[in-house]
Amino acid sequence: MGNKTYMASVTRTTRPLILDVEKLRRANALPTTATAYKQGDLLTLSAANVLTHAADASTWDVICGQDVTAEEATQMAKDGVELPIYYGGVFSVEGVMLNSTLLTSEQYAAARAQATKNKIELSKV
């Protein structure tokens, strides 16, 4: 009798973020020290080109393009290394977040209205 390996079935629920790669517009900005970021976070951009988390779904400028731990953000800011951000394109409203938490359906309208003002499309798929 041979050994048997049983693999558990795994179900993953993913929410797509980027819906149209060809329309992406990217830039870079400095992270705030001691602040963790997740790809898809809605961020505000200061006049000094520094990123902070948006206060709510109606007050954001750009979308975070990369996961960064608080420690990495501190080192990046110290070294002048910028974080990639998206300032144009087509994204899923179901894939963006406020401070690493997916938006609720009640927040979609405010996020989509701000997206239009920012020349970004947030679609519901």
Give the model's pLDDT for residue 101: 96
Give the model's pLDDT for residue 120: 95
Closest by Cα among 25, 21, 81, 23 to 51: 81
Give the model's pLDDT for residue 11: 46
Please indicate, yes or no, if residue 3 is contained in any of the structural domains. Answer: no
- Cα(72)–Cα(35) distance, integer angstroms: 9
Give the model's pLDDT for residue 8: 52
Give the model's pLDDT for residue 12: 46
Please indicate, yes or no, if residue 43 is contained in any of the structural domains. Answer: yes
As a three-state string, the secondary structure of 105-116 is HHHHHHHHHHHH
SS3 content of the chain, % helix, strand, coil (to 5): 20, 35, 45
- Cα(36)–Cα(73) distance, integer angstroms: 7
Report the number of distinct structural domains present in the chain.
Answer: 1
Give the model's pLDDT for residue 21: 78
Q: Residue 27: which CATH number?
A: 2.40.300.10
Which residues form the domain of 23? 18-123
pLDDT tens by residue, 42-62: 999 999 999 999 999 999 999
- In this prediction, the residues of the chain whose per-residue pLDDT falls under 70 are 1-14
pTM: 0.86
